[in-house]
Amino acid sequence: MSEHTIIPVHPQSAEYSLLTPSQLQAMTRRAERDPDGFWLDQAERIHWHSNPTRAFCGSFQDDVEINWYHDGTLNASVSCIDSHLGDRADQVALISHRDGTDEAEKLTYRMLHERVCRLANALQHLGVSRGDRVAISLPMVSEAPIAMLACARIGAVHVVLFGGLSAEAIAERLVDSGARVVITANEIARGAKRIPLKHIMDEALKKAGAESAVETVLVLRTTDAPVAMLPERDLDFHDFVDWFEPDCIPEIMNAEDPLFLLYTSGSTGKPKAVVHTTGGYMVWAAYTMGMVYTHRPNDVLWCTADVAWITGHTSVVYGPLANGSTTMMFDGLPSYPQPGRWWELIERHKVTMLFTAPTAIRSLMREGDDLVNRYDLSSLRLLGTAGEPISPDAWMWYHDVVGKGSCPVVDTWWQTETAGIMLGPIPGAQKLKPGSATMPLPGVSMVLTDTKGDVIEGAGEGCLCVTRSWPGQARTLWKDHARFQQTYFSFSPGLYFTGDGARRDADGYYWITGRMDDVINISGHRIGTAEIEEAVGTDRRITECAAVGVPHSVKGHALVVFAIARDEQTSITPEDITRQVSLAIGRYAAPDEVFIVPDLPRTRSGKIVRRLLRKIASGELDTLGDLSMLSDADSVDMLINTVWKEE
Ligand code: WT7
């Protein structure tokens, strides 16, 4: 398989396609020629209280100011729910399938409306109002999207926190966001694994102490596991919420009012929350999911991402609902209670579109074709992937074995900061190349630059940048606009730098090569080396450390930490370091391997040479390259000995 493999347009996708190839070209040209008109047209995909008359206002220069649709007003929950009550009130909006059971909760748009309104009223009763932050830490159950939409209904800003975070990481985020209410559950139960969410939240609130603004904790009971409640602070979710009225007048928001904050990893240890606002985000969710997932009324979209990631926000909640589709959630593992669980669920719920990460595809591929072939997957018409590069062989397996050769595979490139798809094919209108995220969507203006920021024309490889704002672009980092500018706009003034490298072939198709900054992508989870190093460094027995990502056959990358012990007498083990990272960030960020070493390779000016650490950790010892820039070339032999000869 090479990059020359071209998969022609599938006849089935041409049938569903919204655009012919020439219409797609015309749309792209229109977006170039008249961006304002183009984006005002796209704004019609959602429901506005008062329509905007301008699309973009602002500039990537100087302070970087981004405003979209600024004179429009709307409510995101109305676009996702109320706007469908006229013609599809009884259509299932949400299927939520519980782990290890045959139970699925199905909520129609009418039922979703009631549930969202009750919670919205309950939150208002607790004193939550416009602009207040509400933290949500829940399993993949229907209450998660309900909580997000209830916040949106009253103009509160949701902050969804990943269930894998440690108490310390949650405490930091509660303080930073200033959340007043927390919505959580007793526990997450997946397979044999239990995560005591409420207990971790209690610890987090204890750590945050007076710095936290949290007044109330709503506790959902997802299992029978007992849960300790603090009478003056904690409320049982259903005992409290179910008494409220099933209707709630939506708060009319300005397009630029924040809809949510989402924490993501970057190049420093401090957590950063990306700010997404209401109008632009909603148009972007509707547009990107509408264009690439070509939603039709009977579609059931199953995006396997956790709601705590941007993929969950846009592809589980806002995108499919804005498009009036049925969205499915599954709170479980691909191989529990038995291998083949995912395929069984696709058969059972007649899933038409599956969207998952390359890591999952690689691990399902290992289980073999027979398992897939045991189930009737004929309902599928589209397969999606995102989060990390997918190798052509995994792409082909997904296409041939899961999709039986008749479903297009859409590899979509995006980020927490972009809120939705930037690079991805329009099925039925574009040929596909396995391993390529194809081309920018109409209206998305991408370039490749060299490391100095000069634009590369034609085929080539470089830094992936965006030249013009798009409606779903993050507006700022919460309470830190200077860091926003510095992170994304200092590389080359006037360009948004994505942090990724990419290659563009002669046909204009993009091939993502991976992160160019200090971020590592592990199983599609973004982890900053700086946050790992900071976590390890807080142990006084360590003087210095370096975290690197090395290629891994299933996870994409594995995390390897090298640490220098304070002195030879210090007793510190790799397990101590793993524990330290789990405590500071969460178990999901725990290193795959830790090496305690006497020193690290450095340049003469003292900078740690991570490139060498990556090569040593991945065993590429023949291509270490020129070592003459090192202050002490012997340190390399010593490292190789530690990593490769000790076993
Ligand atoms: C980083 C963003 C899809 C959004 C969820 C992840 C990597 C994302 C692809 C893809 C190669 C990809 C990039 C990006 N990435 N999609 N299709 N091919 N790499 O959002 O956690 O903000 O991570 O994920 O490196 O910068 P995120």
* Ligand 1 atom 5 nearest Cα: 387
- Among the atoms of ligand 1, which is closest to the Cα of residue 437? 17
Whether the predicted pLDDT of 94 surpasses 80: yes
Q: What is the mean pLDDT of residues 199-228?
A: 97
Highest mean pLDDT among 396-410, 563-577, 630-644: 396-410
Domains delineated in the chain:
1-33+333-444 (3.40.50.12780), 73-292+307-315 (3.40.50.12780), 445-514 (2.30.38.10), 523-644 (3.30.300.30)
* Mean pLDDT of the residues in the chain: 94
Which of 383, 388, 473 has most ligand 1 atoms within 8 Å of its beta carbon, as the pocket-test mutant? 388
Task: Tell me which residue of 120, 117, 118, 119 sits closest to 129, measured CA to CA.
Answer: 120
Which of 276, 313, 415 has most ligand 1 atoms within 8 Å of its beta carbon, as the pocket-test mutant? 415
Task: Tell me which residue of 329, 293, 412 sits closest to 143, measured CA to CA.
Answer: 329
**511 C-alpha to ligand 1 centroid (Å):** 12
Q: What is the mean pLDDT of residues 468-480?
A: 98
**84 C-alpha to ligand 1 centroid (Å):** 31
Coil, helix or strand at residue 77: helix
**DSSP, res 425:** -
The pLDDT confidence band at residue 101, using thresholds 50, 70 and 90, is confident
pLDDT digits (tens, 9 = 90+) for 391-418: 999 999 999 999 999 999 999 999 999 9
Contacts of 578 (CB under 8 A, 6+ apart): 590, 591, 594
* Ligand 1 atom 21 nearest Cα: 526
Q: Are 137 and 170 in contact (CB under 8 A)?
A: yes
What pLDDT is stored for residue 54 in this prediction?
A: 97
The pLDDT confidence band at residue 2, using thresholds 50, 70 and 90, is low
Coil, helix or strand at residue 321: helix
Helix or strand holding residue 16 (H, E): helix 11-16
pLDDT digits (tens, 9 = 90+) for 236-274: 999 999 999 999 999 999 999 999 999 999 877 788 999
**301 C-alpha to ligand 1 centroid (Å):** 20
pLDDT digits (tens, 9 = 90+) for 482-508: 999 999 999 999 999 999 999 999 999
Which of 304, 411, 444, 512 has most ligand 1 atoms within 8 Å of its beta carbon, as the pocket-test mutant? 512
HEC secondary structure over 89-128: CCCEEEEEEECCCCCEEEEEHHHHHHHHHHHHHHHHHCCC
What pLDDT is stored for residue 14 in this prediction?
A: 77
Q: Could you give the angle at the alpha carbon of 469 between the alpha carbons of 468 and 471, nearest 5°?
A: 145
Whether the predicted pLDDT of 296 surpasses 90: no
- Among the atoms of ligand 1, which is closest to the Cα of residue 525? 21
- Among the atoms of ligand 1, which is closest to the Cα of residue 417? 22
Helix axes 21-33, 35-43, angle to 10 degrees: 120
The whole-angstrom separation of Cα 186 and Cα 226 is: 8
**44 C-alpha to ligand 1 centroid (Å):** 28
The whole-angstrom separation of Cα 149 and Cα 112 is: 10
**329 C-alpha to ligand 1 centroid (Å):** 21
**434 C-alpha to ligand 1 centroid (Å):** 17
What pLDDT is stored for residue 67 in this prediction?
A: 98
**418 C-alpha to ligand 1 centroid (Å):** 10
Which of 473, 521, 523, 531 has most ligand 1 atoms within 8 Å of its beta carbon, as the pocket-test mutant? 521
Which of 500, 522, 529 has most ligand 1 atoms within 8 Å of its beta carbon, as the pocket-test mutant? 500
Task: Tell me which residue of 363, 443, 459, 436 sits closest to 43, measured CA to CA.
Answer: 443
Task: Tell me which residue of 594, 482, 466 sits closest to 535, measured CA to CA.
Answer: 594
* Ligand 1 atom 14 nearest Cα: 415
The pLDDT confidence band at residue 646, using thresholds 50, 70 and 90, is low
What pLDDT is stored for residue 4 in this prediction?
A: 75
Q: What is the mean pLDDT of residues 376-399?
A: 96
pLDDT digits (tens, 9 = 90+) for 540-556: 999 999 999 999 999 99
In this structure, the residues whose C-beta lies within 6 A of any atom of ligand 1 are: 264, 309-311, 386-389, 411-416, 437, 498-500, 512, 515, 521, 526
Coil, helix or strand at residue 209: helix
Whether the predicted pLDDT of 225 surpasses 70: yes
Strand 92-98 to 326-331 pairing: parallel
Adjacent-strand bridge partners of 74: 253
What pLDDT is stored for residue 1 in this prediction?
A: 52
* Ligand 1 atom 2 nearest Cα: 415
Helix or strand holding residue 594 (H, E): strand 593-597
Q: What is the mean pLDDT of residues 87-109?
A: 94
pLDDT digits (tens, 9 = 90+) for 322-334: 999 999 999 998 8
The pLDDT confidence band at residue 306, using thresholds 50, 70 and 90, is very high
The pLDDT confidence band at residue 191, using thresholds 50, 70 and 90, is confident
Whether the predicted pLDDT of 190 surpasses 90: no
**431 C-alpha to ligand 1 centroid (Å):** 22
pLDDT digits (tens, 9 = 90+) for 130-140: 999 999 999 99
> Side-chain half-sphere of 318: how many Cα atoms within 13 Å?
37
- Write the single-letter amino acid at 186: N
Structure tokens at 88: 């599809």
**43 C-alpha to ligand 1 centroid (Å):** 25
The whole-angstrom separation of Cα 515 and Cα 262 is: 20
The whole-angstrom separation of Cα 260 and Cα 488 is: 20
The whole-angstrom separation of Cα 119 and Cα 21 is: 45
Task: Tell me which residue of 405, 360, 354 sits closest to 382, measured CA to CA.
Answer: 354
The pLDDT confidence band at residue 567, using thresholds 50, 70 and 90, is confident
Distance of CA 484 to the CA centre of its chain: 18
The whole-angstrom separation of Cα 343 and Cα 629 is: 53
pTM value is 0.96
What pLDDT is stored for residue 647 in this prediction?
A: 52
Q: What is the mean pLDDT of residues 163-183?
A: 97
